[in-house]
Each structure stands twice: as C-alpha cells, then as structure tokens.
Amino acid sequence: MREIFEEIENIKETIHGIEDEKYKELFTKISSVLINLSDKMEEVIVKQESLEENVGYIGEDLTDIQDELFEEVTFEDLMDIEDEYVEVKCKCCGKPLFVEKDALNKNNNIPCPFCNNKAN
C-alpha cells in the first residue's frame, strides 16, 4: 500500500505543475477518487488481516477441542460403549434411540426423547 500512496502523492505533485486550470481541476478530482479508493482499500486490507487472524485462532481452538474430546476415548472404549447400548426404533415416530441393554431389559416403558411416547 505504501507504494500506492507514494504514487498518488507523485500524481498530486504533477497535477500542481499543470498550468491549464481545466485539466488541473479534472486531474485533481481523479486524484481525489484515487485517494478515497486507496483509503478504502487500506480499510479492507486491515479487516482482512483481522479476519485471517481470528480464523487462525478459531482453528487453533477447534483443534484443541478435538484433541480434548478424542484423546480420552480409545477405540476399545468405543467398542465397550457399543456393547453396553442397543439401537431401537421408536414405535411411534420411527427414530433410532440408543438405550442401555440393562435399562431395556428392566423397563418396558422407555420414553422417546423425540415424540415423548413409549419407544418400545
């Protein structure tokens, strides 16, 4: 951006050297537009850099969360959980539920969290 600002300043200096007022006024207006565009471009660059930095932080946070969630559960743990639970479909709404085998054996009155009716 510094190079662009320097070029705009060079253009402004060149415009001051123009003697014909009609051309000087036209080039002054063009210079003003260029200055406004470069200011807006600087704002966009600053915002983009801020967004990139924030996205980087979010990515790091998500990585940390994933590490915390998945480092404590091993494949064996998942297999044990799978052995303890059984999938049943709600007889009213048809959605799948995962219920502990012991609870299913002890209780025939398991409520469905989706439709609030008896699941089995």
Residue 28: the pLDDT is 84
Q: Mapping DSSP to helix (H, G, I), strand (E, B) and coil, where does residue 98 land?
A: strand
Q: Rounded to a whole number, what is the distance in angstroms from the first to the last CA of the chain?
A: 68
**pLDDT tens digits, 56-94:** 999 999 888 877 777 666 667 667 666 778 888 888 898
Q: Is the pLDDT of residue 51 over 90?
A: yes
Q: And the tokens for 12?
A: 């402004």
Instruction: Indicate the range of 3-12, 35-44, 73-82 predicted with least confidence.
Output: 73-82
Task: Of 7, 9, 2, give the one whose Cα is nearest residue 42.
Answer: 2
Q: And the tokens for 49?
A: 């850099």
Q: Is the pLDDT of residue 44 over 90?
A: yes
Is the model more confident about 68 or about 97? 97
Residues 8, 113: Cα–Cα separation, whole Å: 66
